[in-house]
């Protein structure tokens, strides 16, 4: 008897079982808006980009309405270095002058955006690349940050140049693309009332878009598994109040604070829930959305 036939049959049965498990979840997300923030070092790895694009295409094929918002910090840094433009940071935030904002827009709305669009198209879906300036999608205002001086603990307001935050989201352009079954791929560059261009943190842009659309989920793909407790274990689910408490008591610290705060603001602003998850895990989106156990940290209203 050929044991390889039994092995093949077992594999097909396992795949069939996975499809049966996923089917109710697929129905659940049909015609629902899912805002997915894709960023971190996963964007620089072709295999991660390919797997992500396949996940987005599958979401589209089962009837969901994905909206992709992407970052590109490492790629911006590489291009600035090539052009010999010095990068200055204040408390981890990039100071963006006129020369830098031109490079930021070129990298985000150009190379990165179009590469993601091409990957999603190759995976079998139809995607359209836009920036926050297109159709007035993201109106921005200058972001004034608080920073401590080197000589004291006193905080002062610092001007980061052309770094902004969303002041208004015009969802009409996203709605129009969705009606034509086109997947928006958004570069987080916004236009100000002053006519200037502003670089916006991709997490912040995704949160604002999620709130404005009343998204069923905001899915924040990062380089970490999610929120960790004081013992270093993944916290699978949090209410908004619980998430705020973890920030207050210091369990959530460093770079995770703005990510959790963005999720909180998205949920309070109208999104049904938000998830922080590791975008480097193979098909992380599908595991989160189409399986019972999911992955990452799920943040929901109280």
Contacts of 8 (CB under 8 A, 6+ apart): none
* H or E, element range at 78: helix 73-82
Mean pLDDT computed over 19-34: 69
pLDDT band at 17 (very low <50, low <70, confident <90, very high): very low
Residue 32 to residue 66: CA distance in whole angstroms: 8
Counting the structural domains of the chain, the total is 1
CATH number at residue 245: 3.40.1160.10
Q: Answer whether residue 19 is part of any domain.
A: no
Find the domain containing 194 and state its range.
Answer: 30-300
| Angle at CA of residue 101, ends 136 and 259, nearest 5° | 75
Q: Answer whether residue 97 is part of any domain.
A: yes
- pLDDT of the residue at 13: 43
**Residue 26 reports pLDDT greater than 90:** no
Say if pTM beats, i.e. exceeds, 0.85: yes
Residue 162 to residue 139: CA distance in whole angstroms: 13
Contacts of 118 (CB under 8 A, 6+ apart): none
Q: Answer whether residue 17 is part of any domain.
A: no
96-142 confidence digits (pLDDT tens): 888 889 888 998 998 899 999 999 999 999 999 999 999 999 999 99
Q: Answer whether residue 157 is part of any domain.
A: yes
Beta carbons of 64 and 29 less than 8 angstroms apart: yes
Beta strands in 92-228 (DSSP E): 93-95, 127-131, 138-148, 155-169, 183-187, 189-192, 197-200, 217-222
Alpha helices in 168-281 (DSSP H): 172-179, 202-213, 240-248, 256-269
Average pLDDT, whole number, for the chain?
85
């Amino acid at each position: 008897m050929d044991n390889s036939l039994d092995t093949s049959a077992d594999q097909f049965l396992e795949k069939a079982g996975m499809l049966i498990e996923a089917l109710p979840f697929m129905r659940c997300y049909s015609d629902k808006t899912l805002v997915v923030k894709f960023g971190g070092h996963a964007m620089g790895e072709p295999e991660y980009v390919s797997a992500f694009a396949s996940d987005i295409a599958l979401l589209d094929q089962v009837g969901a309405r994905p909206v992709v918002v992407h970052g590109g910090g490492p790629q911006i840094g590489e291009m600035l270095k090539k052009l010999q433009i010095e990068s200055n940071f204040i408390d981890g935030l990039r100071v963006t002058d006129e020369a830098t904002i031109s490079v930021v827009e070129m990298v985000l709305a150009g190379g990165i955006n179009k590469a993601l669009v091409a990957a999603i198209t190759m995976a079998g879906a139809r995607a359209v690349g836009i920036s926050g300036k297109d159709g007035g999608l993201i109106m921005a205002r200058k972001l004034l940050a608080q920073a401590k001086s080197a000589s004291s603990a006193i905080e002062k307001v610092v001007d980061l140049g052309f770094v902004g935050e969303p002041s208004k989201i015009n969802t009409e352009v996203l709605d129009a693309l969705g009606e034509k079954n086109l997947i928006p791929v958004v570069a987080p560059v916004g236009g100000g009332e002053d006519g200037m261009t502003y670089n916006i943190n991709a997490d912040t842009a995704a949160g604002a878009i999620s709130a404005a659309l009343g998204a069923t989920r905001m899915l924040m793909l990062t380089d970490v598994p999610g929120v960790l407790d004081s013992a270093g274990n993944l916290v699978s689910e949090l209410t908004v109040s619980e998430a705020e408490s973890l920030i207050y008591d210091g369990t959530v610290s460093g770079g995770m604070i703005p990510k959790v705060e963005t999720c909180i603001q998205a949920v309070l602003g109208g999104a049904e829930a938000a998830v922080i998850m590791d975008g480097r895990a193979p098909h992380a989106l599908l595991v989160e959305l189409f399986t019972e156990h999911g992955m990452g940290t799920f943040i929901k209203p109280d």
